Amino acid sequence: MAYLALYRAFRPTSLNDVVRQEHIVTVLKNQIDTGRIGHAYLFCGPRGTGKTSIAKIFAASINCENPIGGSPCGKCAACKSLADPSNLDISEIDAASNNGVDEMRDLREKVQYPPVAGKYKVYIIDEVHMLSTGAFNALLKTLEEPPRHAVFILATTEAAKIPATVLSRCMRFDFKLIPQADLEERLRYVFDSIGKPYENEAIAAIARAGAGSVRDMLSIADTCVSYSSGKLTYADVTSVLGSADFSGVAAFCGAVLGGDTGTAFEKAEAFLAAGKGVGTLIKDVMNFLNSCTVAKTCRDGKNILSLPDEAYALVEKVARGADGRRLLRVSEIFAEVEQNLKYTASARVLFETATLKASMPQTDDDLQSLIARIETLEKRLEQGDFVAKAGGRVATNAETQPAPSEEAFADFAEIAPPPDEAETGGNAYFDAGFAPVPKKQAPPKVQEPTPPATIENAPAKPMRGAVQGDAKTTFGAFLRSLRKTGRNGVLFTICMDLDNFYEGETFVLSTQSDTIYRSLTKPEHYELIKAAFAALGMAENGFSVRMQGKQSDDFNEKLAEIKETFGGVKIDVK
């Protein structure tokens, strides 16, 4: 006998053998037991989920003389007759190749003849959405009022393309994708039946590649069985699927998430040079990023992913070092590439561009990316990654490592102090520090970092620049004071874009962004702002930080007083 593919050899022959779809199996069993058989059924859902298999089992069951648990017994005269391929009581029609009006007219004429062996004449029309408009119209009247012995079972993967007039005449059943655990159980049963040894990780990889479809999974399994003569391993499955090397994908994703553009681009070029298709690469990258998300958010990530120990260790390592927002943004970027592949003639360029964009967050103007960058700076600031340096600059930990020997500084003088505002025309707060001036006499003096300013250690004498009623001058003086007292580059950058104005004697800093407002009102940031205003001689009640659209406390108090005084008068606030 010729070899049968696994998905044909292990096709269910009874409703009890169907993988999941309990909501459909239960209804059909009850109809068979009670004899309440409908005249038209619509089976719709993804491919490989059992639509045609259940249709064939149901067609045989309603003709069986002694159905067992809603399934045909296989022993009665009707079952034996229907098992003969020449029997015409059960007809399976492919609507993709028989989609014209003439075919439906021919079916309408043949349906009038009674069945030969069983009680019902069943027509299974597969891919029914492929019928033309004329064919649907030709089928409509027969579908609405068929002979008592006729049953129609329509199967489709695209129910949206079926006319509403047809949908309303059918009993609809929606098939769902098969969960991975059930796919793995079914695949183990198949491999045990054919005597194929396997690794559990290989089973999980094949089931995951099946993406909820039993037929797709068994087709992949068929190839894997032929690929490996011995025990089927995880490496064998990845080779059959044409996936990129797992460790290579891990290194690529780790470089992208870590912002290492050079390494990420080199890995991408290596994949493409090895002949990997862009579509396969995108799928591998998306799967790895998804695995990182599972490992980062789920306690039982190892069992959920069912990866080999060394593979899961790579996933866990990358996930541990990735920020949640970065992981989300990188996934979005590569998901867009997957969507745009069908519209481009240069898939390679599209993938390389996405690699650069994902690995260079500083060039990404997406809102989530900007928020993630601010949070990263704040986190590094809290951890002490930045300290104040002479010259008004902000230094990283790399710059504050133990200094080289004095001989190494023999050619340099002390770093120049920050210029006075009078020397720079009032724009001293834009200064980022000055380059060292050559000098051979003596090594530089190492200055101790200046502690963050607070109300207690703020200068007692007000700094020049604040002018009551002049918001522009006061704002410039505030920025200069903040740069000299706060020593916080992130806060200084945020404050530069704030709106400012005088409301009576109160100087107001305002913003339209809720994120920026929350950052300004953090205790550590607000203390620095108070210290900067204190250095200008302004008390805490002399300034206010608010979001645009929020009224001041003084305004609300006065409004409440007016409402209390004029209790019977309607007051509109605009």
pLDDT band at 334 (very low <50, low <70, confident <90, very high): very high
User: How many whole angstroms separate alpha carbon 68 and alpha carbon 101?
Assistant: 39
Domain spanning 180-241: CATH 1.10.8.60: yes
pLDDT at 462: 44
Q: Residue range 136-141: average pLDDT?
A: 88
pLDDT band at 387 (very low <50, low <70, confident <90, very high): low
Residue-wise pLDDT tens digits, 290-329: 999 999 888 888 888 888 888 899 999 999 988 888 898 8
Tokens of 562: 């007016």
Q: Which CATH number fits domain 471-557: 3.30.300, 3.40.50, 3.30.750, 3.30.70?
A: 3.30.300
Q: Which CATH number fits domain 246-364: 1.20.1420.30, 3.40.720.10, 3.20.20.150, 1.20.272.10?
A: 1.20.272.10
pLDDT at 242: 80
CB half-sphere exposure, 165, CA atoms < 13 A: 10
Give me the phi and psi of 136, to 5 degrees please: -60, -40
| Same fold yes or no, 246-364 and 471-557 | no
Tokens of 344: 């481009």
User: How many whole angstroms separate alpha carbon 340 and alpha carbon 334?
Assistant: 10
**How does the average pLDDT of the chain come out, rounded?**
80
pLDDT band at 81 (very low <50, low <70, confident <90, very high): confident
Q: Is 150's pLDDT higher than 60?
A: yes
Angle, CA 215 vertex, CA 210 and CA 220 arms, to 5°: 55
User: How many whole angstroms separate alpha carbon 185 and alpha carbon 306?
Assistant: 14
Q: Is 491's pLDDT higher than 60?
A: yes
pLDDT band at 416 (very low <50, low <70, confident <90, very high): very low
Residue-wise pLDDT tens digits, 450-477: 555 444 454 444 445 677 778 888 888 8
List the domain boundaries for the chain. 6-174, 180-241, 246-364, 388-450, 471-557
Closest alpha carbon to 533 in 573, 481, 472, 470: 481
pLDDT at 551: 52
Q: Which CATH number fits domain 6-174: 3.40.50.300, 3.20.20.70, 2.40.30.110, 3.20.20.100?
A: 3.40.50.300
Please state whether 158 falls in left (phi above 0), alpha (psi between -120 and 50) or beta.
beta
Q: Is the pTM of this model over 0.75?
A: no
pLDDT band at 536 (very low <50, low <70, confident <90, very high): confident
pLDDT at 219: 93
Q: Is 166's pLDDT higher than 50?
A: yes
Q: 510 with 517: CB under 8 angstroms?
A: no
